[in-house]
Amino acid sequence: MADFDALERLGAGSRRLKTIRALSGDARARTDHGRLIVEGTTSVLEAITHQVPVDALVFSDTTQGHDAWVALSMFDGPCEVVDAEILGRAASTASTPPVLAIAGIPDHAMPTSYRLVVAADAIADPGNAGTLMRIAEAAGADALFERPDQRPRPPLDERGEL
């Protein structure tokens, strides 16, 4: 088990956790702040590796494993730890993520030409949206478009946007 005793411990009413709750549950807040929540060790590592602007990492106090230490060692910004139950209530995933990041929404330039484009319409289930994103990436799609007014809820699909 990783030892995160040296990290600042957040309380249930901390400003950082209030931000996480707001961004996890409200698409308008994500748009207004230009931030989103990246949940899970793999997604956080991908965000850091691909130089997505990350404001802070928040670890569950039950975080274990080498990947969590890798994320911690690769990031030079604020890192905090919080009780797993509190983090679970703030996160949008079904189970408590070992780590999450508050990150800027990547600004991707649109390609001038496309070989393969995926257009999604009326996807109601976030799991289906995430699957579609992974399939599009595996197939080498240049872009995936979705109607902003028909985004799946809750915002689980945003982990795949990086």
Query: What CATH number does residue 89 fall under?
Result: 3.30.1330.30
**Predicted pLDDT at 53:** 92
15 and 72 in a single domain? The answer is yes
Per-residue pLDDT of the chain (162 residues; tens, 9 = 90+): 344 556 677 787 888 888 888 898 788 888 899 999 998 888 888 888 888 899 999 988 887 766 777 777 888 888 888 888 888 888 887 788 888 999 998 776 666 788 888 888 877 777 788 888 889 989 998 888 877 666 555 554 454 454
From the list 39, 46, 88, 50, the residue with the least C-alpha distance to 70 is 46
- Is 3 inside any structural domain? no
**Predicted pLDDT at 88:** 83
Length of the chain: 162
**Predicted pLDDT at 109:** 66
**Predicted pLDDT at 6:** 63
Domain extent at residue 94:
8-104
- Is 35 inside any structural domain? yes
- Count CB-CB contacts under 10 A for residue 138: 8
36 and 94 in a single domain? The answer is yes
Is the Cα torsion angle 97, 38, 53, 132 positive or negative in sign?
positive
29 and 92 in a single domain? The answer is yes
- Count CB-CB contacts under 10 A for residue 109: 5
Total domains in the chain come to 2
**Predicted pLDDT at 42:** 85
96 and 127 in a single domain? The answer is no
- Is 70 inside any structural domain? yes
131 and 56 in a single domain? The answer is no
